[in-house]
Amino acid sequence: MFLLAEPHFAMTLPLLYGYKENFFNKPVNYIAIPVLIIIFGSLLFFNANGLFMIIFLLANVYHVNRQSVGFFMVQGGLPFSMKSTYEVSLHIFTLLCLYVAIVEQEQSISIGLILFVAISIVMISLFKLKIGRLPSLKEASVILQGYLIFLPVAIFSDILLAFAIGVSIHYLQYLSLSWRVCKIGFAFSMKYIVLLIVFYSVFSTAALSGFVTLERISVFILIPTLMQLLHFYYDSLIWRRKGNDQLVSRILGKALS
């Protein structure tokens, strides 16, 4: 949590600072909707915590899988026509893993491998049908790493351990990309970024791990959790190269070229 998860959430802050112009140019997207998320998220957290956690889990899954799709395009240079197919396959695979873990509670290596092999065969077959060839070794590696993120959920009985193992792939991907955008795209002084990350990670890890309070429904839990929800939302804006956001397109083009 301290080394990967919370630093990955903290990296959203310098990215938003870099895109501060959009808070004035796009106030609905960058200010109004986040305020609504804070208000309704807080109400649900204290009055319908179970529903809040379901929404949080689904938003987390969607966010992680969308990043895997981004890596599918950026790192692998895979055909754009496979983008939607790959995203659908990621969501289906993740829901199957969660079903095994939460509903059936029958996690095992054999079940995990069966699901992984099955989805891999389906995806590679669809790739062959749509593109007319099999994916290269590099392309296949990028495709499969998306499934590896949630695969541990179907293997380990401790679901928190499973998320820690698998989603760490997502954290490392995000940190590496964000670091590049901050350093190259915005030319920030990275020592200040590191200080910000350490400060944020100490606070949020202490709050979420029970150092401040053991109460599950507490403002000390709410604050870092809402930050995570805002991270899910803002990431749908600050990594979108397509569309009419010229600032984002220019910065990402500079950083990822």
Residues 42-98: tens digit of each pLDDT: 999 999 999 999 999 899 999 999 888 887 777 667 788 888 899 999 999 999 999
Name the amino acid, one letter, at 94.
T
Helices 159-180, 49-74: inter-axial angle, 10-degree rounding: 50
Return the DSSP state at 150: T
Q: What are the distances in angstroms from CA 221 to CA 71, 157, 209?
A: 31, 25, 9
pLDDT tens, N- to C-terminus, the chain (257 residues): 888 889 999 999 999 999 999 999 999 999 999 999 999 999 999 999 999 999 998 999 999 998 888 877 776 677 888 888 999 999 999 999 999 998 888 889 999 999 999 999 999 999 999 998 998 888 888 888 889 999 999 999 887 788 888 888 889 888 988 998 899 989 898 999 999 999 999 999 888 887 877 788 888 889 999 999 999 999 888 887 666 678 888 887 787 77
pLDDT for res 213: 74
pLDDT digits (tens, 9 = 90+) for 195-209: 999 999 999 988 888
Question: What span, in angstroms and rounded, lies between the C-alpha atoms of 31 and 203?
Answer: 24
* The two structure tokens encoding residue 51: 């529903």
Question: What span, in angstroms and rounded, lies between the C-alpha atoms of 208 and 222?
Answer: 9
Query: Nearest Cα to 202, choosing from 1, 57, 13?
Result: 1
Query: Nearest Cα to 235, choosing from 5, 59, 44?
Result: 59
Quote the number of domains for the chain: 1
Range of the domain at 10: 5-256
